[in-house]
Every structure is written in C-alpha cells, then in structure tokens.
C-alpha cells in the first residue's frame, strides 16, 4: 500500500513510524513532513492546507490511504475533499471535526447528551460576557476562544480584572483571530489531567493507553502554555474504575451523540479529561492524535496501524482487539531556549545517530530541517525533537528518556526536567 501522512510535527513522525512497522506499507509519503520523517518517508513539499494539491498528488501517485494528523486540515474539510475524489482518508469529516473546531459546539453537545463537563455559558458579544462576569461569576474562571488557537486560546483568570482583560484580548483585540468570534466562559475544575486517545468508526470505540501531557513551558508547571513539553503513558491515575466510568459515560456517549446529530465521527477522538473530586469530566475534545501524546502511545501499540485506520473507515472497528505493550513510555521534548515566546533556530543538531538500532528508544522530529547540502540536521522550530524511551515501569522509562536526552546536542537546547514527576506521587 501507498500511504500519505499529512502534517509536519513529532506526532506525524510517530504516525509514520507506526505505519512503517506495517508489512502492508510499501511506500510512505508525508506532506510536508520534516527532516526526521524524511528518513522513513518521502516528504513532498505540499502544505497541509493545500487541499487540491494533496488530492492531486494522491491521485497521481496512486495513494491507497491518507492519514491526516493535524487539526487545521481536518476542521477545514480535507477528508471531505479526498473522499469526493474517491481517496480513502483516515480522520473525521468536516461536520464531525467541529467537535474540536468549536468549543461552543462541543459544550452544547455535552450538555444535550449529559456528558460530564464543567458548567459554562457561550457569548457572541463582549458586553454580554462582561455583564456575566460582573453578576454570575465565581473565580478562578476559565475563558476559551471558540475556535482553533494552537492550544493557546484558554485563559485561567483568578480575578475579575484578569477576566475582563481576557474578554478584551479574545473578543475585542482578537488576539486569537476569528477563533475569538465567540467565547466560552467555564467553571474552573480541579484535579489530575489525563489524555485518553480513542479510535472510532462512528459506532464502536476502542480506547488506547492513557497519557499525561505537560503543557507549561517551565519546570514545576510554571511559564506560558505550549504545545506540550513532554508526556508519559500510561497514567497511574487513570485507574480501571475511572476507565469503566469514562467508557460508558464519556467515550461511547460522545460517539453516540455525534452519530445522533448526523455527524458520525470516524478517526481519533482525543479526550482531555480532568479527574475531579466529583468524577471524571471532559476538559476538551480533539479530533486527532495528541502531540506529544502520540509519541508515547503509538510506540506501545501492538496493532497494525494501517489495519486499525482501515477499520475506522470501513466501520469494522468492532473486529479489532486493540492491544498495548505492558510497559511504559516517557517523551521529553527538546525545545529551543525561549520557546514558546521568542527563540532562534538554524543550529546544527548532533547525536541523532545514537538512536540508530536502539530498541525501546526513538527520537521523533518536530521542528527540524536538512541543511542546503543535505548533510546536517538543523533546528527549525520551537519544539525541535521528542525523545521517547520505554521501560518496564514509568520510573525506568523516565530514567531512560532523560539519559537519551543527553545524547543530543544543539545550541540553545532546553527542556523540562520534571516530565513524569507526578508518577512518584501515584
């Protein structure tokens, strides 16, 4: 089979590595990919939002399966464009990807179908939001831009003043662009956060091993929010009891709700959960694998990735027995100093060859590119690499991952030193 993956980050590298393990994969393409993906796939210089070019490339090259990794093209309707041309594509159609694309939509869905989540109100006008803050609000309170905002459209406000500034930033100044046309104001929840990725074919849902992300830039959960600085899997806080509750009241309930709305969801639903004192509640939905959750979950998956993707497309997921290795994995992101605010790039990366042939280790590329002469890997983004290691236990995986971070050198390399620290409290 010829498989085309759409995206360019560490997640897409992890997807490509998973596809490469399948005996059915003869040829793997990635649009646009990055330097690391280029070692296992053929990168084609087409952007993830160039739908017609992606479609034409797939037709001209006889691509049998397209896997869309990123949120923007999913929400924009890439899968619909491909399907209309008769190309098999893994990922939700536009009318289902709205689960991630609009927080107001997802909150209303959860309310309508009784899926546990934080109490909320939706506003179209800044004045109404401000009025609400002055009358009905308890602090801290959470403001969320309705649309996609690179994971940055969420503000947690401790005081009325902060919340007023937040409403202005999102709705008046449009700091997150049109994502701020509408605003969700939400109750603040406390508890442990867990990410659970699931496959679904629109009816059946299959749950992957749990994970936890570290979104803040600096040790001790300080600093600005980022795309994610590291992950571990499984989460020791995601107990069998929590899992049982979530399968019934959250995962299957969501899949059924989308089907009932005439928006059957086929692809990956990422459930961002808060394990609150009142039980698990949904923080957010994503319509794709997490980044960097995929970098710890997929290396532990035993199934053939192509087979699972096809089952989601064909509506035969009930025949798949999803299995994960009985071990753990930790991913530490190596970033450029200053990320996510201001950083330099273009520095040579050394030590990548240390991962060659190392069973249980992987170095997933996020922001890298090859030098002009094609000989040197260069830093090319805020998040540069994701160093993943497995271990029999989470502690062992963490020790292995941090040891492997030392194999890599580049100027302005930075990372968090406490990825998986929560494991010790479990």
Q: Is 193 in the site for ligand GLY (CB under 6 A)?
A: no
User: Minimum distance between the CB of residue 89 and ligand AMP, rounded to whole angstroms?
Assistant: 25
Q: Which is nearer to ligand GLY, 146 or 291 (CB)?
A: 291
Kind and range of the H or E element at 350?
none
Question: Do the beta carbons of residue 247 and residue 207 sit within 8 Å?
Answer: yes
Rounded CA separation 383/73 (Å): 21
44 binds, among ligand AMP, ligand GLY, none (CB under 5 to 8 A by kind): none
Q: Which of 47, 151, 223, 236 binds ligand AMP (CB under 6 A)?
A: 151
Q: Is 68 in the site for ligand AMP (CB under 6 A)?
A: no
Which one of ligand AMP, ligand GLY, none interacts with residue 201, CB within 5 to 8 A by kind? none
Q: Which is nearer to ligand GLY, 194 or 258 (CB)?
A: 194
3-class SS string, 84-122: HCCCCEECCCHHHHHHHHCHHHHHHHHHHCCCCECCEEE
The piece of 18-26, 181-189, 288-296, 328-336 that touches ligand AMP (CB under 6 A) is: 181-189
Q: Kindly tell me which of 146 and 213 has the beta carbon lying closer to ligand GLY.
A: 213
Alpha-carbon distance of 266 to 304, in angstroms, equals 18
118 or 168: whose CB is closer to ligand AMP? 118
Contacting residue, 32, 77, 151, 360, with ligand GLY by CB under 6 A:
151
Task: Tell me the sheet residues that pair with 212.
Answer: 232
Single residue of 64, 284, 293, 310 touching ligand AMP by CB under 6 A: 284
Q: Which residues of 92-126 are buried (b: 16+ CB within 10 A; e: fewer)?
A: bbbebbbbbbbbbbbbebbeeeebbbbebbbbeeb
Q: Which residue reads 């085309």 in tokens?
A: 4
Query: Which of 72, 146, 201, 291 forms a contact with ligand GLY (CB under 6 A)?
Result: 291
CA distances to 110, 211, 256, 299, 333 from 253, in Å: 9, 21, 5, 28, 34
What is the widest separation between alpha-carbon atoms in the chain? Answer: 63
Closer to ligand GLY by CB, 31 or 70: give it.
70
Residue 201 or residue 293: which is nearer to ligand GLY going by CB? 293
Check if the beta carbon of residue 300 is closer than 8 Å to that of residue 233: yes
Q: Measured from the CB atom, is 142 or 366 closer to ligand AMP?
A: 142
The strand pair at 413-414 and 328-336 is best described as antiparallel
Smallest gap from residue 122 Cβ to ligand GLY (A)? 21
Stretch that binds ligand GLY, among 45-53, 182-190, 283-291, 385-393 (CB under 6 A): 283-291
Among 315, 113, 94, which residue's Cα sits nearest to residue 204? 315
Q: Which does 142 bind (CB under 5 to 8 A by kind): ligand GLY, ligand AMP, none?
A: ligand AMP
Q: How many residues in the shown chain lie near ligand GLY by CB under 6 A?
A: 7
- Nearest approach in angstroms of CB 215 to ligand GLY is 7
Binding ligand GLY (rule: CB under 6 A), the pick from 8, 254, 266, 286 is 286
Distance CA(12)–CA(33), nearest Å, equals: 8
Please give the residue whose beta carbon sits closest to ligand GLY in the complex.
Answer: 290
Residue 71 engages ligand AMP in binding (rule: CB under 6 A): no
Distances (CA, A) of 9 to 80, 174, 333, 383: 23, 27, 12, 9
Whole-number Å distance between alpha carbons of 417 and 419: 6
Count of beta carbons in the 10 Å neighbourhood of residue 196: 27
Q: Report d(CA 386, CA 162) in Å as an integer.
A: 34
Report how far residue 137's alpha carbon sits from residue 183's, in angstroms, rounded to the nearest whole number: 15
**Is residue 154 near ligand AMP by the rule CB under 6 A?**
yes
193 is an interface residue for ligand AMP by CB under 6 A: yes
Binds ligand GLY (CB under 6 A): choice among 81, 293, 311, 394: 293
C-beta of 117: minimal distance to ligand AMP in Å? Answer: 8
- From 35, 78, 142, 317, residue interacting with ligand AMP (rule: CB under 6 A): 142
Rule CB under 6 A: which residues touch ligand GLY?
A: 151, 213, 228, 286, 290-291, 293
Contacts to ligand AMP by CB under 6 A:
118, 142, 151, 154, 156, 186-189, 193, 215, 272, 283-284
């Amino acid at each position: 089979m010829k498989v085309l993956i759409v995206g360019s980050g560490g997640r897409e590298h992890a997807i490509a590595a998973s596809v490469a393990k399948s005996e059915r994969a003869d040829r793997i393409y990635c649009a646009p990919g990055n330097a690391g993906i280029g070692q296992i796939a053929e990168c084609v210089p087409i952007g993830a939002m160039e739908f017609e070019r992606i479609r034409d490339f797939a037709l001209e090259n006889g691509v049998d399966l397209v896997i869309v990794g990123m949120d923007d093209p999913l929400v924009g309707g890439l899968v619909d464009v491909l399907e209309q041309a008769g190309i098999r594509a893994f990922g939700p159609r536009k009318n289902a990807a709205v689960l991630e694309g609009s927080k107001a939509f997802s909150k209303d869905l959860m309310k309508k179908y009784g899926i546990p989540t934080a109490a909320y109100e939706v506003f179209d006008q800044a004045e109404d939001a401000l009025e609400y803050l002055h009358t009905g609000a308890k602090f801290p309170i959470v403001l969320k831009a309705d649309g996609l905002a690179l994971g940055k459209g969420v503000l947690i406000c401790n005081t009325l003043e902060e919340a007023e500034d937040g409403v202005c930033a999102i709705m008046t100044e449009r700091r997150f662009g049109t994502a701020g046309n509408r605003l969700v104001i939400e109750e603040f929840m406390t508890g442990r956060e867990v990410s659970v990725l699931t496959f679904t074919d629109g009816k059946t849902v299959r749950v992957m091993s749990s994970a936890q992300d570290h979104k803040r830039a600096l040790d001790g959960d300080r600093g600005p929010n980022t795309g994610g600085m590291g992950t571990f899997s499984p989460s020791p806080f995601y107990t069998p009891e929590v899992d049982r509750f979530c399968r019934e009241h959250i995962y299957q309930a969501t899949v059924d709700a989308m089907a009932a709305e005439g928006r059957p969801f086929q692809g990956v639903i990422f459930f961002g959960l808060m394990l609150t004192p009142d039980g698990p509640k949904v923080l957010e939905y994503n319509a794709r694998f997490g980044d960097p959750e995929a970098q710890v979950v997929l290396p532990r998956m035993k199934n053939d990735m192509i087979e699972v993707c096809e089952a989601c497309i064909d509506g035969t997921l009930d025949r798949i027995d999803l299995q994960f290795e009985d071990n753990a994995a930790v991913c530490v992101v190596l970033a450029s100093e200053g990320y996510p605010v201001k950083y330099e790039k273009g520095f040579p990366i050394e030590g990548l060859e240390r991962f060659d042939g190392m069973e249980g280790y992987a170095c997933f590329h996020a922001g890298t590119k090859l030098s002009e002469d094609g000989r040197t890997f260069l830093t090319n983004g805020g998040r540069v690499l994701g160093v993943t290691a497995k271990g029999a236990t989470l502690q062992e995986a963490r020790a292995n991952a941090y040891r492997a971070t030392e194999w890599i050198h580049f100027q302005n390399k930075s990372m968090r030193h406490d990825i998986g620290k929560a494991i010790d409290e479990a």
